[in-house]
Amino acid sequence: MLLHNTANVCHSVCVTQQSSHGACPFAGGTRRPDEPYPGREALRAAGPVVVTEAPAGGPVAVVTTAALARAVLGDPRIVKDTALAPPDWEPRAAGLEPAAADALSLTTAEGEAHAALRRAHAPMLSPRRMRARQPLMRDTARELLAGLGDAADLTADFTTRYPLTVVGDLLGLPRTMIDDAVDACRRMFGDAADGAAAMGAFARLGAAALQHDGLARELRGRLPASVTDDEVHYLLFALIFAGQLTTDIALGFLLARVLVARDGAQRSSTRTGGPPADMPALVDDVLRRDPPAPFTLWRFTTEEVELAGVVLAPRTPVLVDLAGLADDPGAAAGSGLAFGAGPHVCAGIHLARAELAAAVEVLVADFPHARLAVPAADLRRVDPGGVEGSRLAALPVHGLRPRE
Ligand code: HEM
């Protein structure tokens, strides 16, 4: 799942082939956090559907408006089964999961098989249950931040570990295995051997969670007995990795937003106090401006499909440019399309919102002395390129001691 490792491929595409609209939406690089994604404005200007060169080769149709994105994400002729991907795409380099027939997965199943999987997951990740877990999430954030010492890089030491600890506690994973989860998630971005080792580690994490009380067992109990243990491990892997990958990135931008505001308030001698007045709005705004998934996952047309006057052949790869929609006046209020839409809308949306808000509340209320250790102007974000999300290179802080 989400085996995005396209940076090198994309780079070679972008330097050797200029796209028809004049900019490559899959380019990597380093930029200031408030600088827009390179190439996105030109892409939107080129129309609601732009056919360009995919990082793994061949054409990809990129959807650039919110209205068309919603239609595409609900269109049963545009599906996620990677069996329809171009046969010459190398799965790992292209960021492809196994085909739906080869691995039971929320992200590649369609129709009734997908709906049944969603029904099995939904009660575990409901808004009510996630809200009820928020005090525990706050305790986790407090404990992890307090354990870092006075100075730390929050992207290296907190933003990966915190969502993994939260989801691990939910699933029933022993805390002693969180280091393994951190290591496995990081290895997903390594070479093929790292990827294979990571998948082995995720299977062990899933098996361990099933030994304890928690949502992993609850999910097992909701699935038909015909679903094998290996298949359950893969479903648990999806929850662990999809949750870490995205929340990690979002947390970096969210904490940076709060710390930059705190620096500004200090310079202008205004009081910094409790959490921002409207925490859900702050979380949604950060997600809308900096969607952790810059594109949706791969989709493919099952037949000839016309989108905004552009005719796509069967099996054409399709992406929605989520990052480019930040300024689309047609995008929904709140987080916009950061969590996707339609049947495959993020299964962890309520968990993500609850854990992001909990972490910021704790930083603001319980660590009043925490400050950026570098000028805000020195913060940088790294775009790995391809369809991967960009994250802060570092978020160094000092004064990270709890309120006495
Ligand atoms: C800020 C955090 C998050 C963001 C921005 C985010 C974003 C997304 C997006 C855009 C999709 C849809 C992809 C597509 O349709 O192509 C998605 C799907 C998914 N997300 Fe999240 N996600 C976040 C957190 C989480 C968490 C915490 C979990 C763990 C429970 C999670 C689990 C999933 C799963 C399992 C899917 C597949 C759903 C399906 O295909 O039916 N996500 N997410």
CA of 330 to the centre of ligand 1 (A): 22
**Within its chain, how far is the Cα of 364 from the centroid?**
24
- The Cβ of residue 325 has, within 10 Å, a number of other Cβ atoms equal to 23
Q: Of 142, 369, 143, 121, which Cα lies nearest the Cα of 242? A: 121
Longest CA pairwise span in the chain (Å): 64
Per-residue confidence (pLDDT) for residue 7, from 0 to 100? 33
- In three-state secondary structure terms, 215 is helix
- In three-state secondary structure terms, 185 is helix
Closest ligand 1 atom, CA of 117? 41
- Tell me, yes or no, whether 349 lies in a domain: yes
Per-residue pLDDT tens digits for 15-72:
333 455 556 889 899 999 988 887 788 888 899 999 999 999 999 999 999 999 999 9
The domain that holds 254 is classified in CATH as 1.10.630.10
Instruction: Evaluate: CB of 236 within 6 angstroms of ligand 1.
Output: no
- Tell me, yes or no, whether 13 lies in a domain: yes
- Closest residue to atom 32 of ligand 1, CA basis: 348
- Tell me, yes or no, whether 2 lies in a domain: no
Q: HEC states along 110-144? A: CHHHHHHHHHHHHHHHCHHHHHHHHHHHHHHHHHH
- Closest residue to atom 39 of ligand 1, CA basis: 344
- Tell me, yes or no, whether 1 lies in a domain: no
Q: Of 379, 45, 306, which Cα lies nearest the Cα of 25? A: 45
**Each residue's pLDDT tens digit in the chain (404 positions)?**
443 333 333 333 343 334 555 568 898 999 999 888 877 888 888 999 999 999 999 999 999 999 999 999 999 999 999 999 999 999 888 889 999 999 999 999 999 999 999 999 999 999 999 999 999 999 999 999 999 999 999 999 999 999 999 999 999 999 999 999 999 999 998 889 999 999 999 999 999 999 999 999 999 999 999 999 999 999 999 999 998 999 999 999 999 999 999 887 766 655 445 556 688 899 999 999 899 999 999 999 999 999 999 999 999 999 999 998 877 767 766 778 999 999 999 999 999 999 999 999 999 999 999 999 999 999 999 999 899 999 999 999 999 999 87
Per-residue pLDDT tens digits for 290-346:
999 999 999 999 999 999 999 999 999 999 999 988 777 677 667 789 999 999 999
Please check whether residue 299 is in contact with residue 76, taking contact to mean a CB–CB distance below 8 angstroms: no
- The Cβ of residue 136 has, within 10 Å, a number of other Cβ atoms equal to 13
Q: What is the dihedral of CA 287, 290, 294, 297, to 10 degrees?
A: -10
Closest ligand 1 atom, CA of 345? 12
Where do we find the tokens 């390129």?
385
- Tell me, yes or no, whether 248 lies in a domain: yes
* Cα end-to-end distance, the chain, whole Å: 44
- Tell me, yes or no, whether 125 lies in a domain: yes
Please check whether residue 358 is in contact with residue 138, taking contact to mean a CB–CB distance below 8 angstroms: yes
**Domain total of the chain:** 1
Residue 380's domain comprises 7-398
CA of 345 to the centre of ligand 1 (A): 7
Q: What is the dihedral of CA 252, 253, 254, 255, to 10 degrees?
A: 50
Phi, psi dihedrals of residue 103, rounded to the nearest 5°: -150, 125
Q: What is the dihedral of CA 144, 146, 150, 154, to 10 degrees?
A: 30
Query: Ligand 1: which of 215, 346, 351, 355 to mutate, most ligand atoms within 8 Å of CB?
Result: 346
Where do we find the tokens 């996707």?
340
- Tell me, yes or no, whether 403 lies in a domain: no
CA of 353 to the centre of ligand 1 (A): 12
Structure tokens belonging to residue 272: 């910094």
Element (H, E) at 204: helix 192-209
What distance in Å separates the CA atoms of residue 319 and residue 51, rounded to the nearest whole number?
10
CA of 70 to the centre of ligand 1 (A): 16
CA of 325 to the centre of ligand 1 (A): 17
Per-residue confidence (pLDDT) for residue 36, from 0 to 100? 81
- Tell me, yes or no, whether 404 lies in a domain: no
